[in-house]
Amino acid sequence: MSDPQILLRGDRLGLGQPRREMLPEYHRWENDPGTILGYGNQFPQAWEVREGGWSGQRGNHNYPQFEVVRLDDMTPVGITTLIVNTFVRTAEYVILVAPEERGKGYAEEATRLTLDWAFHLGALRTVWLKVLEPDTAGITAYEKAGFKQSGRLRKSGFWLGEPVDELLMDALPEDFSGPSAMK
């Protein structure tokens, strides 16, 4: 397996290029029941669908993805994605943390690094996300990284089979506190 190509370094984590050879592991993370619950999906994705979408995602410059890598041992622990709308210079943010790596504070640092990239290299005006209201750990991590609650979609998601609200959160460059990892 090739070593991750680290593009941006934080304290414990780095952002790197996603690697084709990691696709089976990414697929395993995506089909974990906790991931499916957090995304509000109801069913796992078939390997053939995930494998078929790889080239399209990697070839789309409006869909930058980052492999989140733990720097002390260079182990991949997640993926972050920016779904960019180039017309208005905004992006939707999506994060996936490996099931066995959850609860270690990685979501906050990975989110902060991705926002750093989005604002300082990507020159985006706003980054936004949707999170299911019962996902309090996710909401806390996003707020610590610089997101603020900005709206609500009532009963638009599902949590354990029940309709729940989705919270809208956004971040602006001025919400990004602290030094950039680019310096």
Find the catalytic residue in 26, 93, 106, 142. 142
Q: How far apart are CA 125 and CA 38, in angstroms?
A: 26
Are the C-beta atoms of 96 and 35 separated by less than 8 Å?
A: yes
- 142 in active site: yes
Closest CA to 115 of 131, 99, 130, 126: 126
Are the C-beta atoms of 15 and 70 separated by less than 8 Å?
A: no
Place of tokens 């939707």: 92
Catalytic residues: 142
